[in-house]
Structure 1
Amino acid sequence: DYDKEASRLNIEVTPAAQEYRPGDTAVFNVKVSDPKGNGKQAEVLFSIVDEAYFALRDQKVNILEDIYNQTVSLGYLDGSIPHTNPLEDNDGFGVAEGGEGGDETPVRSDFKDTALFESVITDDEGKAQISVKLPDNLTKWRVTSIGLTDDLYAGNGTINIDTRLPYFINSVFNSRFITLDKPVIQIRSFGTAAVQGEKVNYTVSIKKDGQDWRNYSISSTIGERALAETGALEEGSYTYTITGRYKSYTDAVMLPFEVVQGFVEQPRTQYSELSENMNFPDVKWPVKIYFFNENVRSYWEDLLDLSYSWGERIDSIIVRKQARKLLQDYFDEDWQSYPKEYDLSVYQLSNGGIALLPYDSANPVLTAKISSLKDSSFDYKQVKDYFYRTLTNENAVSTDIAASYWGLAGLREPILPELSALLKSPNLKLIDKLYIGLAYADIGDLDTATDIYRETVDSYMKEDSLRAYIIEKGYDSDDTQEATSLCALLSQKIKAPERQKFFEFVSNMYGEDILTNAMRLAYIQSNLNNLNFKSSFVYELDGKKEKVTIDGKDTFCMFLTAKKLSQIRFSDIEGKIVTATVYKTPIGEISETDSRISITRTYSGKDDKVRKHMDTSEYIKVTLKVRFDQLAPTGYYMVEDYLPASLKYVSTWQTADKWIRESIRGWYPHVVGGQRVSFTIHRSDLKSREVTIEYFARAVNIGICTAESATVFNLDSNIINYTPREMVTVE
C-alpha cells in the first residue's frame, strides 16, 4: 500500500497579529515544507470565513485523503444546512455585526461571511505572504489553507484570528418589510470596556431612496435596549445609521433595508402557440420559456404512466398493453423485456359482453369502453350481439342503452334512426347524452355530436387556466371524472377548442372504481396520427440568429431577463410548437383563486392559545391547514408562508426548547429564505382531506408588522388559494 504520509505537506500560516480591529489589513506569512522539513514550492489556497457560518454548516478539509483515498469527501460533516444560527437564536441578537471603537467614528457597513478566497504560490524555499482587508464583522475568523505541488504533495491547515473592539453597538432589525409596517430598531452596546448600567447615547439616521427621512436621539444604559420607532414605512430602499457614544468611545454601523408592497408572488404559466408575433406576459423578473412539439411530450408521459398501470382488471391490462405498443410505434420505446400479458379472451363472457375480471359479470358501459380501444383479443361479432340484446332488454337502464349505441356506432352498425329517437327521449341523464354524442361522432354526424357537446359545455363546464371539467349538481368525484373523461373523448372527436383542458383534468385525476385510464388511452389513440413529431424555428437575440430543431418529445428551454424577453424575435417556424412561459407576478396583480383548495393559518404560544400579540424572544408555533376538495387535482402542491418581519424561523432540531421538540409533527421545510418558509404536499387520491403543517418561529423584532398571505398552489397548473393578510404585534 502507498504511504500517503510521505506526500504530506506541512503548511505553517503565521498571522502578523492574533487580534485585529474591523477594517484592518491582516498579514499572513506562509511556510510550506515536506515531511523532512525541506521547503517546497506549492500553490496554497486560502479561505478566511466567519466562524458563525460554520455554526450553520461545519467544514472538514483533508486534501491528502481526498487525493489518495478511493472515496472523495465532499468536505462537510453533514449534508444538510440548518436555517438559523444557534449563536443568534439565544436572545435574538447577533454577534458578528458591530462598529468601531476609538476617537474617530468611521461608519461600518461591510459585513460579509467570506473575507478572502484566493491562492498564492510559494517560492523555492516554500515561503509566501498574503494580506487581506478584513470586513467589519466582530467575530472569530477561520483561516483555512490547502496546499498542492506539481508532484502531488498535499496538505492543509487551519488557524483562527479575531476582530474585536473594547466597545461596539449591535442592532436588531430586519432587512425587508411590507408597506405600513411599524417596526422598531433595537440597539444595545457591548464590549470589554462597557460597564453594566452606565449611560450611553445613540443617534439614528434613516435615509429613504438616498434622501434624509427620519432622525432620532436616544439615551439608554449598557445592558438595556434602546428603541427607535420608525412609524409606518413607505415603499422604497432605505439605509439606517446608528452612532453610539459611551465615555470616550464612539461607534457607528450602517445597514440597508427595503420596503415592498408584498412578499408573495403567484407562479403563472402561460401557454401559447409559437408565432412570429408572440405576445409574452409583461414581467419584471426573469422567465423560463419551454418550447415543445404540441402534445407530443405530454402524450409520451401519459403513455409511460399508463404502461405501468397495475392489476388484473381488464382495463388495467388492456391499457398497459396498448400503451406499450403505442410507445414502441411512435416513440421507439423498447418493451421486449416485459412478460407477455394475460389471455384477454377469458374476460369476454359467453354472452359476448366484457367483464372487469374473469369471474365477474359483463355490463354494457364497460364493454363499450373496452370495445372503443379496438383490441384484437375479442370476438366483435359476439360484442355486437351483446349490445343488440341490451337494447331489447326490458330491465336495461338508460345509460346501458346509450352506451350500447355508442359501442354499435364504433363497430359501424347502421343505428342512426334509433339513435335519433333515443336523443328525443325525455329524462335522459347527462352521462347518457355524452354516450349518444360519442355515437353520433363515430357514425360521422359531427354536427349533432357538436350540438350535444356544446349544450353540455355551456351548462356544466367549469375551468381554470389549464384544466376543464364537467360537474352537475349532486355529482361526487367519480361522477365528475366519468363525465369529464367522456366529454374529453367527445371533444377530441369533434376537435373542440377545450379538448386539451379536459384531457389535462382527466390525466391528473385518480379514481379506483371508474375507467378513466381507458378513456385517456382512447383520447391519445385518436390524436397520435395528427401530431407533429419534428419542428424548428429561428430566434434572434442580441443581433444573432440561432436555429432550433425539436425532435419528438424533446424540449428546448430559454432563461430570459424581462428586457431580453421584450427583444427576442422568432421566424422560419416549421411545425406546430407550443411555448410555456413560466413567471411570477405579485399576488395582488392576479387574485383569481380556486375553491377546490383552501388554506388557513394561526399563531399560538406554549399555552396553545391563538394570538396575534407576542413578546420579544417568545417562541411561536405557526399552524397551516390545507384542505383539498375531492375535485382538486392530484399531484404536487407547494405551500408557501411568509413570516412577518418581526418573526424569525427556528429550526426544530437545532433549538434546545423542549416545547418545540415535543410538539413538532415532523414537517421539514422545502425552502427557507428570508421570511419565506415553504413545504411540499403530494396529493395521490381524490378523497377530501385536510393536511396540517406546523413549524416554529421566534419573535425577534419589536413592532407591528404584516403577516403576508400564506399560499397553496398546484405545481402543474395555475390553481391557487391563499389566506388574508393580518397584522402581528411584538412588544
Structure 2
Amino acid sequence: TELRQWAIGKGYVMWETKPGHGLEIVPEQESYKVGDTARYLVKNPYQGAKALVTVERFGSIKSWVTTLKSNMEIIEVPVEPDYVPGFFVSVTVMSPRVNKPIDKNQVDLGKPAFRMGYAKTAVKDPYKEILINVKTDKSVYKPSETVIVEFQAHPRHPTADREPIELAVTVLDESVFDLLSGGKDYFNPYKGFYTLDDLDLANFSLLMRLVGRQKFEKKGANAGGDGGSSLSMRSVFKFVSYWNPSLKTDSDGKAQVKFDLPDNLTGWRILVMAVTPEDLMGLGDYNFKVNQPIEIRPVLPNQLLTGDIFQAGFSVMNRTETAKNLQVVITATGQVIAPTANTSWMESMKNMVGLGKESVSKKYTIKAEPYKRYTQWLPLQATTAGLIEFEATAADGEDSDGLQKSLKIWPRQASVTAATYGTTVNDEVIENIKFPEDIFPNVGGLKVIASPTVIGGVDGAFSYMRDYPYYCWEQKLTKGTMASHYNNLQDYIADDLIWKDSYTLPGKTINLAKEYQAPDGGMAYFIAKDERVSPYLSAYTALSFNWLRTAEYDIPELVEKRLHSYLLKLLRKNVLPDYYSKGMAATVRATALAALAKHGKITRNDISRYHSHVERMDLFGKSMFLSAALQVPGTQRIRND
C-alpha cells in the first residue's frame, strides 16, 4: 500500500521540471459528486506568474485567470451539475520576457515561456438521472391475456422548471435478455451517454512560433458516440411482445400501456428508457411471468424433404403440484400421410402421385407427474412440397393447453428446366418430347406457351426489373430505361403486371446521371472519379439516352455532350483498362459506335477502322456494330459482311 500526502505553505520549492512544456497537476481525488469542490495542487515553476485555468469537455465550459503567488498553489473548482459525467482541468502558466543578457552561445535566457498541464476528473453522480417505477396489474399471466402496465417517471433532482418526459418501452423475452452480455446496461441511456470521453480540445500558443519551438500536439483524441447498436425488431419479433418508441407522460410523469401477450410460456422483462428534451435520462425495468398448468412444446425436425418418414413429437408438462391424467391429441394436416408398413420408399413415392391435402391424427392418455415432461410421437411421411399444419392439445377436464405449429416440406430434387423455341407461319407445329425413364411421378411438369408476337412473354423481365433492389448507376439506369419500355409496350403486357411509378421513374433516373459522371465525361458505377470510370457503362449510358429520347424524355444537354466527348476519345485512343480482353474492347467500342452514330458523330472511316474487329465481338457487339453501320452512308459492303 502506498499513501501520498502533500503539505503546502510559504517559501520556495524547487520542483524537478522535465524538458518541454508540461506542467504537473495533482488532483486531490479521482472523482467527485455534484456540489463538491475539486482541489488540485499545481507544481508551479514560475512563482508569481499569471495562469489561465479552464474547465473543459466538448470545448471550454468555464475559464478564468489567476495569479500563482507561490510554487505550490491550490486551484479549486466547484463541481456543477453540468460537469457530469466529468471534466478536464487545464492550467496554463506563463512567464513573460525578462531582462537577461544573451550568453556567449547566443541563447536568449530571457525569452517568454509557458507550461501547460491537464487533470482528468470524473463526476460519479447520477445527478441527471430519471427514476422510473414500473408495475403491472398482475405478476403472472396466461397466454394471450392483456397486460396493463403503469409507469411513473421523475427526475432524481427535480427543478422548478419541470421538463416533459418521453418514454421508449420494450417488453423482451427473458430468454433473449439473458443472452445480452451487457444486461440492463445495454439499454441504459444514462450509462451510454454519461461517460467521460477523451479530451477533444486542441491547444495553440503563439509562443511556440515566437521562439521557434515546433513541438505541438493535440491534447487528446476526438470524442466518439455511444456506438451501441439497436435491437433489430424484424429478426426477433417473436421474442418482443411490445414496443413503443415514443410514449409521452402526463404532467406528473405518469403513463399507461396495454398489450396482448403472445403464446410464449416464459418470463418477460419490461425495459423503459426515459429522456427529456434537454439532458435528463434514465432506465427502469420490471419482470412478470406467463404461465399455465399444462404446457405443450413442439419437438419437430428442422427441415423436411418430400418422401421423408419422420416422427412429429410434442412434449407435455404438468406444471402443477399434483399428478394429472391428460388426454393428448396430435393432428397433422397438409402434404402428409401415415407411413405404410412393408412398403419400399420408392413404391411409397409412386403411391403418393395425385395426393392432395390429407389429415393424420392420434390420441394418447398419459399420467403426468408434477414438473415432468412426456413426449408423444406421431409417425408421418411427407408427400409433396408444401406445408404441414400441426395441432396438439392436452387436457384433463380442468386445465388444458393447445398449440399450433407449421413445418415446410422442401422438394427433394432440384428442378432442371429444358426448353425449346421457334417461330412458324404454319397451321401446325409438332415437337417431340422424351421423358426420362426414372422420372419421379410427382415432380415436374410440361408447359407450352404460344404467342402471336415475338414480344410476347416479356412480363417476367419487367417484373424482375420493377422489383430489383440494388442501386449502382448501371442498375438505376436499366431500371429507368425498362420503365420507359414498359410504358411503350402496354399492349403486350398482362393486365395484372402493375409498375406504379413507371411514368416518373425514367425522368428521375435521367436527372441522376450528373451525379455519376466523372470530370472526364465518363460514367462510374458509384463514385464519380476519373479512375473509377467504366468504358462499358459509359457506352451503355449513351445508348440508353438514345432509347429514352425516342420515348420523348429530355436528356440533359451538357451531360450528354461531355459523355460523347469521352466516347469519341475512347474510339480514337487506347484508354481502355488493362484487364479488358480484345473481345471486350471490341464489343464496348461497337456499343459506342452505335450510340454516337445516332447523332451523326461517326464517319465511314470510323466504321472501316473497326471492321476488322468484328470477329472478336460477341453477338451483342456484332449487333451494335451493324446498327452503327446502318446509320452511316457508304458502308453497304461492311453491312453485307
Work out which structure has the larger RCO, using CA pairs closer than 8 Å and 6 or more positions apart in sequence.
Answer: 1
The structure with the largest strand share of the pair is: 1
When normalised by structure 1's length, the TM-score is 0.34
Higher Cα Rg, which structure: 2
